[in-house]
Structure formats: structure tokens, C-alpha cells
Amino acid sequence: MLWSVGALGAADFRGALEFLEVAGEVDGVDPFPEPVLAALRRLIPADVVSYGELDRRGAGWRTGVRWQGAPHADVTPSICEAHLRFTHQKPHPPWAPAAGRAARWSDLLSRRQMQRLDAYAEVGKPLGSEYQLELWLLTPGGVAGGFSFDRYECDFSERDLRVLDTLRPHLVQLWRNAGLRTPAAAGLQTPDAAGLLTPREREILAWVARGKTNREIATVLYLAPGTVGKHLDNVYAKLGVGSRAGAVARAFLG
């Protein structure tokens, strides 16, 4: 394991493992679809949990946002416009030195300071979002996206911060894994290999090409080694080869 068992209580440790089991079953190019966000919401209880990629055009903090839970009110066009207009007021920006750590707004602003913000008056208050917890996904290449957790009645706890900070490297790994499911990112050179293989098979073959064993791949992808072996058997059948070396040569060298 990449974390210290002592950093979490037994129940939290089991919950984190259950979350990774759900996240490891994802085989599409989206690392955090709604089922994963639902599992994260069970681990970090919140009224709404959302994730979106960093908007590098500067129009706002996140784009392509998807969520689990229900705001107190409809997310109207005026609320969306206000969110973009007042992102500069939010206390935990992706460019902050501590962007890679989970942060509660209450640790960065007093209650009075928050309620004076236009972002609160026009976005947070209408949606009933009184308490916020944010985590930016800091990858080796920079911030990739961000998670937001919202509650209506009570603030987030130190336990919530601890669990998220423990999960941080695993969330980054899940994001990297999803990237390898596209033919271009996996580095596949032959059209037939790219077209025949499923996203999961492309992902596993990319790790094989990097010299990883089935057990090592299983650890990275949060799968059982036997599951990795079954996917490789499918790869061999589709590519008409009988070995790892043959599959790599067929897919990457043509």
C-alpha cells in the first residue's frame, strides 16, 4: 500500500479500499464518472461532490463538471455566470502553493469574511452551500482538475481532510490510468490494434510495454492479478499472438 495504515482508523482504511475498488473498475477515458463520485461521497459525506478538469483557457476554475448529490436549488444560468465572474474571490485557487492539499474554506476565511463575498451571495447562498472542502488534482505535469465537496448544515472534519490527503496519490494514479486508455496516449502505432482493443486492454498493454508484471499492473490499476491476466488473454486472441512480447510488437511496432 502507498499509505500508512496508522494514518487512518480501521473503518476509514476499509472505506478507502472500497472506494479504490469501485474506481478501479472504471475502464473508460473519464477517471471520475458519476459512480466513482458517488463512492467518494460515501467516503467523504457531503451533500454534493463534484469534479471537473482545469479550464486552461482562463474562463473559470473547472470545466466539464459532473457531480453527485443535489443542490438546494437549480443551477441556473445566472448562478453559472456568477460562478465564473467571481472565481477570483475563492480562497483555494489551483495556483496556490498548497493547491495539492485538501482545504476547508473555513480554515482560510472566517464566517464573516465568507458571507461578505459576492461568490457566496450569488452562488453559495442560493445553492445552500455553507461549507466547502476542495482538493485540486496536482499531477507531475501540473493541476489537472479539482474536486469540490459541499455541505449545508455542518463543516467538514479533520478526518475528512486526512482521508483525502491519504487518497491524493491514488487519485492522481487513477487520472493517469484513464489517460492510457486512449490509443494516442497509450502509444499504439497500428490502426488495427487501436481499433480492436478495449480501453482497458489498451491501458494494460501500455503497462506491459513498460515492462510491468501482471502483479505490478494489478497494483497500479487496483485490480486482481487474475483480472489482468484475463485481459491479456483477450489481447493475445485479438492480435493473433501468444506472448507479451508478441503483443507489444504487434501493437506498437506493426
Question: Do residues 152 and 47 both lie within one domain?
Answer: yes
Domain with 36 in it: what CATH number? 3.30.450.80
Question: Do residues 140 and 216 both lie within one domain?
Answer: no
Question: Do residues 74 and 135 both lie within one domain?
Answer: yes
Question: Do residues 26 and 151 both lie within one domain?
Answer: yes
Question: Do residues 217 and 99 both lie within one domain?
Answer: no
Domain with 244 in it: what CATH number? 1.10.10.10
| 106: containing domain | 5-168
Last-in-domain residue among 134, 168, 202: 168
Position 3 scores a pLDDT of 46
Q: How many domains does the chain have?
A: 2
Query: 3-state SS of the chain?
Result: CCCCHHHCCHHHHHHHHHHHHHHHCCCCCCCCCHHHHHHHHHHCCCCEEEEEEECCCCCCCEEEEEEEECCCCCCCHHHHHHHHHCHHHCCCCCCCCCCCCCEEHHHCCCHHHHHCCHHHHHHHHHHCCCEEEEEEEEECCEEEEEEEEEECCCCCCHHHHHHHHHHHHHHHHHHHHHHCCCHHHHCCCCHHHHHHCCHHHHHHHHHHHCCCCHHHHHHHHCCCHHHHHHHHHHHHHHHCCCCHHHHHHHHHHC
* 176 assigned to some structural domain: no
Position 248 scores a pLDDT of 87
Question: Do residues 205 and 147 both lie within one domain?
Answer: no
* 52 assigned to some structural domain: yes
* 178 assigned to some structural domain: no
Position 197 scores a pLDDT of 86
Question: Do residues 163 and 210 both lie within one domain?
Answer: no
pLDDT tens sequence for the chain (254 residues): 444 444 678 899 999 999 999 999 998 889 999 999 999 999 999 999 999 999 887 767 888 899 999 888 888 999 988 988 898 899 999 988 888 899 999 999 999 999 999 999 999 999 999 999 999 999 988 999 999 999 999 999 999 999 999 999 999 999 999 988 876 655 555 555 667 888 899 889 989 988 999 999 999 999 999 999 999 999 999 999 999 999 988 887 76
* 142 assigned to some structural domain: yes
Position 175 scores a pLDDT of 93
Last-in-domain residue among 168, 193, 228: 168
Q: Model-level pTM?
A: 0.84
Question: Do residues 147 and 224 both lie within one domain?
Answer: no
Question: Do residues 108 and 217 both lie within one domain?
Answer: no
* 175 assigned to some structural domain: no
